[in-house]
Amino acid sequence: MLSEARIIGKILILVLLAALIGGCFGRSTKIQAPTAISYPTAEWVLVVGEPVEIPAPATEGDAPEHWSVEPALPLGLTLDTGTGIISGIPLEECPASFFTITATNFGGDASVSLEIRVHPQAPCNLVYSQDEVLGLIAFTEFPVLLPSLECGPSNDYTVDPALPEGVLLDPFTGIISGIPVVSQTLTLHQVTAANVTGSASFSILIEILPAGPCDLEYVDDDEVVPPFTPMSPILPGVGCGEPDLWEIDPPLPDGLEFNAATGVISGTPEVETDRIVYTITALNDHGSDQVEIALRISPVFNYQLEQISGEYDPDSGEGGAEVRVILTEGGDNVSFPTQILMISLALGHDTERLDLASVEPGQDLTDLNGGNGPEFFAPFETPTGFTLGVVFSFSAEAGGISADQPREVAVVNYETNPDVFAGDEDGDSMDLEWGNSSAGTPGVPAVGNTVVLDGVTGILPVTENVRIDLIPN
């Protein structure tokens, strides 16, 4: 009986073991690999120093038994291999990077991509070595101001309002330096250091006082102008400082004005004078500077035009006109008769109706320099007319010419445009205009109307436009 009981017990044990073993193998074939693994948010933007927890992604199928990540997460972050949770405190910046998160169980594995970027902390506690710069004189070196910044870095510094001209803010380092070239009343400037996460600001109070004027000059510092004709303003230049007041000594002649606020000389002279030297002073509370200019008021020289001929064939439209250029000196000029070394002139015409044919020396120039004519005679055709430079003599000792009597200095020949004048039985007239309206065009010389006495002193002649007639023959 005992033997039978033992046998039955062993059989039961074997049956139970078989059931257990069979049950285990049966379950292994039924485990499903994780599927449809996904994050609700697939892109994460983190900030250095700020704690973060990224939940495990949702999965379908049987629960994962292990989680892994490839490549390694940014420094400071860890993946819990049992739960799939990513957590920690980022310790350094990281550009946008993709990480593969894998969930695994006995049934297999599944992966999902997660994008993580780590931004720097926002800048904080921006401080400069000084919070005010007061009473600095323009054109003296501005103190170098160095920034101190905590928390996150910045290479994006800005300032509002703009610093005084000449003082610069380095946008990458935040250093402020330079030499102010203008004055400025008390102004509060806010400097901001920024990065992608945020910004910090610091205020600096700046006052720049005007420097005393320096390097005072007038480009036109030795002028001869005719009376009773509006003169071109004579303008000053200042190298530094901002004058509050301008003074001139002695006073200008009647008709001329000296602007005490700007230093500009202008007006219409009403009297003649010899050459007078004037002392001009520019002042402000911090200094002054002086310069001398010379001015003579005298009737000087005239350019005139005389038409010699002007006709055309109405059938062919061919023809032309000849014009004399006359130079005359005013008889009551202080230095009359004055020796003239050179002249320049510019004359325009209607280029649609007339073509420039030639510009030749006038008859009063043929006897110069022993019958050789002027030392230099150079016409230049422009898009609107022509310019002419004439040197009567290269040496003041050689004399040049005088214009105490009208002097023919050039003869200009024009040809008609046949397309315009063919069939015109009525005739035409048009203006010749003094001046070089195409000056400044590439290749065109900036030549105007000038009479040069001694190689240095240039005088603007009085000119008057003239109308020429073209008559059918």
Classify residue 17: in a domain, yes or no: no
Cβ-proximal residues to 264 (8 Å cutoff; 6+ apart), any chain: 233, 234, 235, 236, 258
Mean pLDDT along residues 182-199: 96
> Looking at the whole model, is its pTM more than 0.75?
no
Classify residue 465: in a domain, yes or no: yes
Range with the poorest average pLDDT among 5-19, 199-213, 343-357 = 5-19
Residues 457 and 349 in one domain: yes
Last residue of a domain, one of 266, 297, 328: 297
Classify residue 11: in a domain, yes or no: no
Last residue of a domain, one of 209, 239, 268: 209
Residues 275 and 379 in one domain: no
Classify residue 350: in a domain, yes or no: yes
Mean pLDDT along residues 231-247: 92
Looking at the predicted structure, is the pLDDT value of residue 10 above 90?
no
Residues 311 and 383 in one domain: yes
Asked whether the beta carbons of 243 and 213 are under 8 A apart, the reply is yes
Classify residue 144: in a domain, yes or no: yes
Q: Using pLDDT thresholds of 50, 70 and 90, give the confidence band for residue 28.
A: very low
CATH of the domain at 226: 2.60.40.10
More confident of the two residues 295 and 28: 295
Classify residue 60: in a domain, yes or no: yes
Residues 112 and 133 in one domain: no
Residues 333 and 188 in one domain: no
What range does the domain containing 140 cover? 123-209
Looking at the predicted structure, is the pLDDT value of residue 18 above 50?
no
Asked whether the beta carbons of 77 and 87 are under 8 A apart, the reply is yes
Residue 36 corresponds to which tokens in the numbers above?
């449809």
Looking at the predicted structure, is the pLDDT value of residue 25 above 60?
no
Structural domains in the chain (count): 4
The whole-number pLDDT of residue 132 equals 97
Looking at the predicted structure, is the pLDDT value of residue 234 above 90?
yes
Classify residue 1: in a domain, yes or no: no
Q: Using pLDDT thresholds of 50, 70 and 90, give the confidence band for residue 11.
A: low
Residues 305 and 283 in one domain: no
Residue 311 corresponds to which tokens in the numbers above?
């006709």
Classify residue 28: in a domain, yes or no: no
Determine the residue type at 318. Answer: E
Q: Using pLDDT thresholds of 50, 70 and 90, give the confidence band for residue 4.
A: low
Q: Which of 127, 129, 131 is nearest to 150 (CA)?
A: 127
Residues 173 and 255 in one domain: no
Residues 364 and 467 in one domain: yes
Residues 354 and 436 in one domain: yes
Looking at the predicted structure, is the pLDDT value of residue 91 above 60?
yes
Last residue of a domain, one of 119, 154, 187: 119
pLDDT tens digits, residue range 156-165?
999 999 999 9
Other Cβ atoms within 10 Å of 404 Cβ, number? 14
Q: How far apart are CA 219 and CA 238, in angstroms?
A: 11
Asked whether the beta carbons of 422 and 317 are under 8 A apart, the reply is yes
pLDDT tens digits, residue range 310-330?
999 999 999 999 999 999 988
Residues 347 and 227 in one domain: no
**Range 64-69 contact pairs with CB under 8 angstroms and sequence separation of 24 or more:** 64/34, 64/103, 64/104, 64/105, 65/104, 65/105, 65/106, 66/103, 66/104, 66/105, 67/101, 67/102, 67/103, 67/104, 68/101, 68/102, 68/104, 69/99, 69/100, 69/101, 69/102
Residues 175 and 158 in one domain: yes
Residues 164 and 64 in one domain: no
The whole-number pLDDT of residue 24 equals 41
Asked whether the beta carbons of 299 and 338 are under 8 A apart, the reply is no
Asked whether the beta carbons of 260 and 245 are under 8 A apart, the reply is yes
